[in-house]
Each structure stands twice: as C-alpha cells, then as structure tokens.
Amino acid sequence: MFFRKSIVAATGLFLCIFLIVHLSANAILLLPETTARELYNSYSTALRENLFITLIAYLLYISIILHVVYAAIITFRNTKSKGEKYKVNHNNKNSTWMSQNMGFLGVFILLFIVVHLANFWAKIKLGIGEDVGVDVNGNVDVYEVTSFLFHNMYFMLFYSVLMIPLGFHLYHGLKSAFMTLGFYHKKGLRLLAKISLAYAIIMSVGFGIIPLFVYFK
Ligand code: HEM
C-alpha cells in the first residue's frame, strides 16, 4: 500500500511542478494579441525542438499514466475493503469530503486531460486533424489553435469550469503527498496545508481565467 501511495505522491508532485511551468507559459495568452502570438509560438517551438524538454515530456506522460493507474488501484481497493482510507486530515469536514472524493475529482481531470491532449497535443505534435498554419516568423501557430478553441463558448466553459475540480484535487492531493512522503510534524503540516491551498487557488484561478480572457479579447 505504501509503495503505491508513494508512487501517486511522487508523480503527483512532479505533475504539480509541470503545472507551474505550464501556467507561466499560458499566461502569455493574457498579453495583447500580436505580442502574445509571437511569444507563445516561439516559446512553443523552442520547447518542441529541445531534446532535454522532449525527454522531460516523456517523463511527464509516464508520470500521468502511473499517477492515474496507481490512484485508481488505491481507490478501487479502498472502496472494496472499506478499510484504511487514503491518508486523511480529519481536522475539518471539508478535507474529509475531498479525501473521499479524490477518485471522483480525478475522473473529471482525466476527462479534461484526454480532451485537452486531443485539442492541442494530437494536433500540434502528432499532426492529427486539420493542418495547423504558421505565423509570420514561420513558427507553428499554436496561438491560433488556442484562440480558435477558446472562441467556442462550449470549449471556453469546459476549460474554465473544470478548473474547479482541478483546484480541489490539487489542494487535497498536495497535502496528502506531503504526508505520504513523510511530513508529519503538526506545525509543518499546517504550513504545508496553507501552501497547498495557495497553490491550488493560483492554479485553478490562473488556468480558469485564461479561456475566459481569450473569449472576450
Ligand atoms: C488555459 C489552459 C491551458 C492551455 C491554453 C493549454 C495549452 C496547451 C498547449 C498549447 C499544449 C501543447 C504544447 C505544444 O505541444 O506545443 C499543451 C499541452 C499539454 N497540456 Fe495544457 N493547457 C492548459 C491547461 C492545462 C491543464 C490545466 C493541464 C493539466 C491538468 C494541462 C496539461 C497538458 C499536458 C499534459 C500537455 C502535454 C505536454 C507536452 O507534450 O509537452 N494543460 N497545453
């Protein structure tokens, strides 16, 4: 059990770091259109052409798969045995609700990631679907793909609303990961809980406002 929880915790922390970098990159979309297009496309091209980043991307895909598979096994076993639950902070009702619904929240996020990868990754990296054009600098126009998608109200809402379950999942997930990896000191845990809350709010609000902003730009 501990091995499985450690895999979920370690891969979860790695995914949390990815999200910080990913949000910083996507914040470019908040800039005025001409600047945003040029920066977003050249940044995206630089990442795709970098061998080290490509290797990190493979590590990311493996982490997502391990995180989902081991979290599903833990949730399934817990539901089946109704025995020991995922490490929970019983201090308040909220965190109990979240801990019991981590699997449920995770399904929403998995749905988001599958749709998201189909919208961007499959188009840009695998060349599936309509051709993606290039900008004036000859870079793949990832900005246009994003702008076109977020001008569709349904996708805009999908990307914004699903950031709410993402926020809850990140808050509880980060706290649990710290505990699983050995942070038991009461005072330290209180601080880590605050850090987890701040992180979850920044991520869900940050990612959530971008589609809205692009829609109304
Ligand atoms: C405003 C919201 C978001 C936008 C505009 C956005 C945009 C993008 C784009 C353009 C790519 C393709 C990059 C490329 O190949 O050049 C991408 C990849 C990806 N995104 Fe997002 N993203 C958003 C939110 C998220 C969130 C919330 C998650 C996770 C919960 C996520 C997970 C991923 C993953 C795993 C990849 C594949 C990474 C890679 O292959 O390098 N994204 N995203």
- The pLDDT value given to residue 95: 52
As given in the structure block, the two tokens for residue 202 are 């920044």
Q: What's the pTM?
A: 0.91
User: Are 159 and 150 within 8 A, CB to CB?
Assistant: yes
User: Are 38 and 29 within 8 A, CB to CB?
Assistant: no
- The pLDDT value given to residue 22: 98
CA distance 213 to 30: 7
Q: Who's near 195: CB < 8 A, 6+ residues apart?
A: 174
CATH 1.20.1300 fits 2-216, yes or no: yes
Q: Who's near 164: CB < 8 A, 6+ residues apart?
A: 204, 208
CA distance 162 to 204: 9
Q: How far is CA 211 from CA 98, 156, 204, 206, in A?
A: 26, 5, 12, 10
- Tell how far the Cα of 161 is from the centroid of ligand 1, in angstroms: 16
Nearest-CA residue for atom 41 of ligand 1: 57
Q: Is the CB of 144 under 6 A from ligand 1?
A: no
Q: Is the CB of 167 under 6 A from ligand 1?
A: no
For residue 8, count other CB atoms closer than 10 A to its CB.
26
- The pLDDT value given to residue 100: 75
- The pLDDT value given to residue 160: 98
Nearest-CA residue for atom 15 of ligand 1: 121
User: Are 17 and 56 within 8 A, CB to CB?
Assistant: no
- The pLDDT value given to residue 82: 63
Residues facing 140 on adjacent strands = 134
Domain ranges of the chain: 2-216
Nearest-CA residue for atom 27 of ligand 1: 207
As given in the structure block, the two tokens for residue 136 are 């004036």
CA distance 90 to 169: 17
Q: Which atom of ligand 1 is nearest to the CA of 40?
A: 10
- Run means of pLDDT, 10 residues per run, the chain, 217 residues: 90 98 98 97 96 97 96 86 53 60 88 96 88 93 97 98 96 92 80 95 98 95
